[in-house]
Amino acid sequence: TFKLENLEVTFCESIEILDVSPFIHLRTLSVDFCWNLLEVRGLDKLKYLESLIVVNVKCCENLVEIQGLDCLEKLSIYRCASIERLDLSKSRSMKILDAIECAKLAEIQGVDRLESLERLSISGCASIERLNLPKSDSPRILDVADCKNLRILDVADCKNLIQIQGLDRLEFLEELNLYGCTSFERLPNLCCFDYLKSLNINDRDKLQDIQSLERFPSRKSLFIEGCKSLAKLPNLSSFHGLRELFLSNCHELREIPGLEESISLERITISGCSLIEILPDLSSSTRLMSLIVQNCEKLIELRGLEKLEQLVELDISECKSLKTIPELSGTQLYQNYEKKPSPLIRRIEFG
């Protein structure tokens, strides 16, 4: 008897009903760009299914929820307008879960039981408010066998998300993307993230506290943009390897503590921080090559620049309160430069 294991249904624009119940031995099922698909029947019959990919299925009425699928290792759903709920409590083998731009998706049950999960992305799922991550059954934090496997967590643009439970138990997390999670008021506890390489916390209007970043002295770049309620930064003097500092549109920020002791800095960009009046003396930042301070309306003074022999670029555009314009030989000076600064790295990186 022929046993179909792989099935791809792609760009079948006229198909309305897909019945997969006869194919009980399926291991992979991919349904892509079937614009008029209304129903997928028989998913609950696929006891051996390991990978399910659904892309751009806008009208699929019975895909309001996905549940069961005990052997599923990979679930990817992209821009599926109707899906509201995932129940993965029985999918203990799940390694990859991607739910991207599913506007109505409000609940993912059973994520806290997915102890094999390696990647989780719910980018653009604006209806999700709460997410429970897997718990460890053992108190031995450094024992790999007893720790969670999640390496990448992407919850970008989940604007209603207010809490991620269990985040502090992800000892091996390498990438955390919280971009556009505008309901968060403080940075999650990062106490156990010894392997974290990349952190994106930009465009979070309500974020007020990022002091937990002080635990990471090895960070290479600090990029913070659009955190309009952020009034205080961690002391930068503890970040020994910091090479790039980028602050943009942090309207409540008044000072940058420890900046005068950040001797490894090569680039500093401060844009649209309207309450900053004075920057610390930068004479110790002897590696500094670029200093961009744009649209800081209350800035009245820059100190220590005359000792920066490596400085080749100075931009003080739209700093209308600046009393003295430094005269530096060998440095390109911009005063009315309209181009907005745009760094290559738009996240926090760790060494």
For the whole model, what pTM was predicted? 0.64
**Residue 311 falls within a domain, yes or no?**
yes
Q: What is the DSSP string of 57-106?
A: ----TTTTEEE--TT--EEEEES-TT--EEE-TT-TT--EEEEES-TT--
**Confidence tier at 258 by pLDDT (50, 70, 90):** very high
**Residue 327 falls within a domain, yes or no?**
yes
**Residue 289 falls within a domain, yes or no?**
yes
Mean pLDDT of the chain: 80
CA distances to 149, 158, 186, 227, 322 from 136, in Å: 11, 25, 24, 33, 54
Using an 8 Å Cβ cutoff, are 49 and 21 in contact?
A: no
| Number of neighbouring beta carbons within 10 Å of residue 139 | 7
Half-sphere exposure of 338 (CA within 13 A, CB side): 0
| Number of neighbouring beta carbons within 10 Å of residue 54 | 25
**Residue 149 falls within a domain, yes or no?**
no
User: Beta partners for 78?
Assistant: 55, 100
Using the structure block, give the residue that is written with the tokens 């008029």: 36
**Residue 298 falls within a domain, yes or no?**
yes
pLDDT (average), residues 233-258? 89
Radius of gyration from C-alpha coordinates of the chain? 25
**Residue 332 falls within a domain, yes or no?**
yes
Which of 64, 11, 61, 12 has its CA nearest to residue 38? 61
Which of 49, 351, 300 has its CA nearest to residue 196? 351
Using an 8 Å Cβ cutoff, are 82 and 63 in contact?
A: yes
Per-residue pLDDT reduced to its tens digit, 26-78: 999 999 988 888 888 888 888 899 999 888 876 665 565 666 678 889 999 89
Half-sphere exposure of 256 (CA within 13 A, CB side): 25
User: Beta partners for 249?
Assistant: none
**Residue 142 falls within a domain, yes or no?**
no
The domain tally of the chain equals 1
261 in helix, strand or coil?
helix
CA distance 260 to 13: 62
Which of 216, 141, 146 has its CA nearest to residue 176? 216
Q: What is the domain extent for residue 256? A: 237-351
**Residue 282 falls within a domain, yes or no?**
yes
Instruction: Fill in the DSSP letter of residue 40.
Output: E
Per-residue pLDDT reduced to its tens digit, 270-295: 999 999 999 999 999 999 999 999 99
126 in helix, strand or coil?
coil
Q: Region of 22 please: left (phi>0), alpha (psi -120 to 50) or beta.
A: alpha
Which of 89, 169, 86, 71 has its CA nearest to residue 121? 86
CA distances to 103, 163, 167, 172, 202 from 180, in Å: 15, 14, 18, 23, 6
Tell whether the model's pLDDT for residue 109 goes beyond 70. Answer: yes
Per-residue pLDDT reduced to its tens digit, 333-344: 777 655 555 565
Token digits of residue 287: 């590696």
Amino acid letter for position 305: L
Using the structure block, give the residue that is written with the tokens 């555009």: 317
| Number of neighbouring beta carbons within 10 Å of residue 4 | 12
Q: Residue 329: give its domain's CATH number.
A: 3.80.10.10
**Confidence tier at 297 by pLDDT (50, 70, 90):** very high
